[in-house]
Amino acid sequence: MTRKFPIFKSSFLFSYLIIILLQLLYSVVDGRLLSLSKPQPNDAAAYARWLVSQNSWGVLKNVVSFSDGPPGKGAGVPYFYLTTLDPTAANALKDQRSSLTVSEYPIGTCGKTDPENPTCAKITLTGKLKLVDVDSKEAEFARSALFAKHPEMKDWPESHNFQVFKLEIEDIFLINWFGGPKPLTVNQYLHWKMHKMGISL
């Protein structure tokens, strides 16, 4: 009996250490995800959200800057800071139908893979480009989202009357692997929880 307790104690200690080691390992993997990894191609919602949050510009009729939230707080909805001196915003006020296209290539995670190769992802969000009410809570969030990723916007000339727009997403076209576009609903995209991945953007 005098022996059994130490054995029990040491195996208990051993299991405990294994658990701690596993937790450490997990947090290391988790830590790596924080800065390097991209989601698995079969997790379409995660991939789409990562692609949008990592990029800060795309094509919306013209080349525009956008932000879906302050770093680490991306909500998936792209916000824009546009002036009606530019045709993109001027046209949007007449016909809201728009699509935003973003490539994985400029993020730098495609390596030497060609931008057109399906494993170098691309996403097109189609919907309506809408003016956000300047006094709303949403405009406040959008401005903090935009200014965090585009610091010079704060100093853009007041006389140009820059206003916050958002893309109300109606359809998503994502290619991030062989085999054609990934089925991905707007709902799946918008309600995918970024923190599940442990990704801080």
Residues in the chain, total: 201
The residues near 152 (Cβ < 8 Å, ≥ 6 apart) are none
Q: Which is nearer to a copy of itself, 114 or 170 (CB)?
A: 114
Q: What is the identity of the amino acid at 156?
A: W
CA atoms within 13 A on the CB side of 180: 2
Q: Which is nearer to a copy of itself, 30 or 177 (CB)?
A: 177
Q: Which is nearer to a copy of itself, 102 or 197 (CB)?
A: 102
Q: Which is nearer to a copy of itself, 68 or 197 (CB)?
A: 68
């062989």: which residue's tokens?
178
Residue 68 CB, shortest distance to a copy of itself, in Å, is 15
Question: Is 153:78 a contact under the CB 8 Å cutoff?
Answer: no
Q: Which is nearer to a copy of itself, 65 or 197 (CB)?
A: 65
Contact footprint for a copy of itself (CB under 8 A) = 56-59, 61-65, 81, 85, 87, 101, 103, 105-106, 113-117, 122, 124, 150, 152-153, 173, 175, 180
Question: Is 159:83 a contact under the CB 8 Å cutoff?
Answer: no
Residue 52 CB, shortest distance to a copy of itself, in Å, is 14
26-35 contacts, C-beta under 8 A, 24 or more apart: 30/198, 33/197, 33/198, 33/199, 34/198, 34/199, 34/200
Residue 178 CB, shortest distance to a copy of itself, in Å, is 10
Residue 93 CB, shortest distance to a copy of itself, in Å, is 18
Residue 196 CB, shortest distance to a copy of itself, in Å, is 27
